[in-house]
Amino acid sequence: MRDLTLDETHALERILDKAGLQAVLEVLSEICGAKAEHVESNWQDKALARRWAMLEGAIGCLVPNAQGL
């Protein structure tokens, strides 16, 4: 993995400015959930799927705190 490029960082900031942090966190949580399902069904890697699912929940727990941001 790698860090985001400056262009990617600016693109993410533009998304945050348009949609808000709550919406970005919600979609990140959903993406993690989708990755968990994909990993388990296509790779049968239960440990990695559990990590993605755990992150889905952890990010999801942040969503209410980001209301209005």
Average predicted confidence (pLDDT) for the chain? 98
What is the distance between the alpha carbons of residues 37 and 49, in angstroms, rounded to a whole number?
A: 7
What is the distance between the alpha carbons of residues 11 and 19, in angstroms, rounded to a whole number?
A: 12
Instruction: Indicate the domain borders of the chain.
Output: 21-66
Looking at residue 7, its pLDDT comes to: 98
Looking at residue 46, its pLDDT comes to: 97
Looking at residue 30, its pLDDT comes to: 98
Local confidence band at 52 (pLDDT 50, 70, 90 cut-offs):
very high
What is the distance between the alpha carbons of residues 40 and 27, in angstroms, rounded to a whole number?
A: 20
Looking at residue 17, its pLDDT comes to: 98
* Pair 25, 62: CB distance under 8 Å: yes
Local confidence band at 47 (pLDDT 50, 70, 90 cut-offs):
very high
Mean pLDDT of 31-45: 98
End-to-end CA distance of the chain: 28
